[in-house]
């Protein structure tokens, strides 16, 4: 049986990560993450045999830096791609309760299969983590102001409840 520990020298690439808005968000409004990773095969040696290890993305973990950690099956998508307006909640978004600077880390979770060539393949139990570089997210407080109409004239306007 091949274990995760056996694969310590085989390291899959971390995901690429983008945020919407880019690096800045509004207090109590969703900040969306989009992480991408792909299947990859790494050649090497294991137990004295030449092998190929194929890593396949199985999910993502977002550590939002405020004590909240979420898991998602996909890396997410841009609001426009999803057909949603900006600041809509998504499976890969988070709303910060307080303004400040937070460190966001998105980790790709991979399953692994080891190919021993003529001796066959072996799936590895568990997932291998590949964190992206941490990035700082600045959360600001946003105040809106109407410039054409007040809330009596347009009760559905920005900032009107």
Instruction: Note down pLDDT in tens along the chain; length 161 residues.
Output: 888 888 888 899 999 999 999 999 999 999 999 999 999 999 999 888 899 999 999 999 999 999 999 999 999 999 999 999 999 999 999 999 999 999 999 999 999 999 999 999 999 999 999 999 999 999 999 876 656 677 788 787 766 76
pLDDT, position 5: 84
Specify the pLDDT at position 20: 95
The model's pTM is 0.83
- In this structure, the chain runs to a length of 161
Q: Which residues of 131-145 are buried (b: 16+ CB within 10 A; e: fewer)?
A: ebeebebebeeeeee
What pLDDT score does 149 carry? 72
The 10 Å CB-count burial string (b at 16+, else e) for 75-91 is bbbebeeeebeebeebb
Please tell me what DSSP assigns to residue 87: T
Cα 93–Cα 134–Cα 85 angle in degrees, nearest 5: 25
Residue 155's pLDDT is 80
| Confidence at residue 47, expressed as pLDDT on a 0 to 100 scale | 87
Nearest to 11 by CA among 147, 97, 107: 107
Q: What is the CA radius of gyration of the chain?
A: 21
């Amino acid at each position: 049986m091949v274990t995760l520990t056996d694969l310590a020298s085989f390291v899959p690439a971390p995901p690429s990560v983008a945020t919407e808005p880019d690096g800045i968000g509004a207090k109590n409004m969703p900040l969306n993450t989009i992480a991408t990773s792909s299947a990859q095969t790494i050649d090497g040696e294991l137990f004295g045999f030449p092998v190929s290890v194929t890593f396949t993305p199985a999910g993502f973990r977002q550590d939002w830096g405020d004590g909240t950690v979420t898991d998602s099956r996909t890396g997410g998508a841009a609001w426009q791609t999803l057909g949603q307006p900006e600041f809509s909640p998504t499976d890969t978004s988070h709303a910060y309760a307080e303004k400040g600077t937070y460190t966001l880390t998105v980790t790709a979770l991979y399953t692994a299969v080891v190919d021993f060539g003529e001796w066959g393949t072996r799936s590895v139990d568990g997932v291998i983590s590949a964190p992206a570089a941490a990035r700082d997210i600045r959360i600001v407080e946003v105040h809106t102001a109407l410039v054409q109409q007040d809330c009596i004239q347009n009760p559905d306007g920005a900032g009107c409840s």
